[in-house]
């Protein structure tokens, strides 16, 4: 997993975050568990199920689950003689961690690889469902990209059938940016969004310079 940055808005929260993050990323098994729980917050899992999903030893899974439970990130309950674990949505850093892991996974996902191969694409920005935030649009695409091709690509993954997207020609996008278009500016300036493909940075900088 590549280096990630999380921004916190108070000294107290930043100090707490530093302590927690050091504890979170010291084990590969723990990182796998974090990804599973954070990207599927509505699901709960029992230990043997996790060993199969993550291809890790049961003792390692059990140990890391206890570590995560101890810091309050996951909670456990008994059902049908099994102990189930799930993310605690009230955990103070849940939104930041979810967004972080969503970005890491999406940056290397098959859908992103396919989007980059679309003919004529100049810029791809992931937002909304791709990075765990609530936004007007989930996917911004700039370039000479056919709507039909983009929709066909998204339909290949049933989980993406409701993705909200916007396509702009390069000229229209840069013109709107030069006029401080709120929609465009908000997408580009939001640090939670993920820019996964950009071959027009020079043109973007020039358009911003006209503001």
Sorted by where each begins, the domain ranges of the chain are 11-97, 109-209
Span of 139-143, 190-194, 196-200 with lowest mean pLDDT: 190-194
Express each pLDDT in 2-45 by its tens digit. 334 444 344 344 445 445 555 666 777 888 888 788 877 878 89
Question: CB 78: neighbour CB atoms within 10 A?
Answer: 9
CATH architecture of the domain 11-97 equals Orthogonal Bundle (1.10)
- Asked whether 21 and 91 are in contact (CB, 8 A), the reply is no
DSSP state of 7: -
Average pLDDT of the chain to the nearest whole number: 84
Query: Whole-model pTM?
Result: 0.58
Cα distance between residue 60 and residue 193, in whole Å: 33
């Amino acid at each position: 997993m590549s280096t990630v940055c999380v921004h916190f808005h108070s000294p107290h929260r930043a100090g707490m975050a530093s302590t927690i993050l050091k504890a979170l990323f010291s084990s590969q098994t723990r990182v796998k568990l974090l990804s599973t729980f954070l990207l599927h917050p509505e699901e709960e899992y029992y230990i043997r199920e996790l060993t199969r999903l993550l291809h890790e030893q049961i003792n390692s899974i059990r140990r890391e689950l206890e570590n995560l439970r101890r810091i309050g990130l996951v909670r456990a309950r008994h059902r049908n003689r099994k102990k189930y674990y799930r993310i605690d949505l009230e955990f103070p850093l849940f939104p930041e961690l979810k967004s972080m892991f969503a970005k890491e996974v999406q940056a290397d996902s098959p859908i992103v690889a396919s989007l980059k191969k679309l003919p004529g694409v100049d810029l791809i920005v992931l937002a909304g469902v791709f990075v765990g935030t609530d936004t007007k649009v989930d996917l911004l695409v700039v370039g000479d990209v056919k709507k039909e091709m983009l929709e066909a690509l998204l339909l290949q993954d049933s989980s993406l059938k409701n993705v909200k997207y916007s396509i702009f020609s390069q000229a229209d996008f840069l013109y709107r940016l030069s006029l401080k278009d709120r929609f465009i500016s908000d997408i580009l300036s939001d640090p939670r969004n993920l820019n996964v493909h950009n071959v027009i940075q020079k043109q973007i900088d020039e358009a911003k310079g006209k503001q």
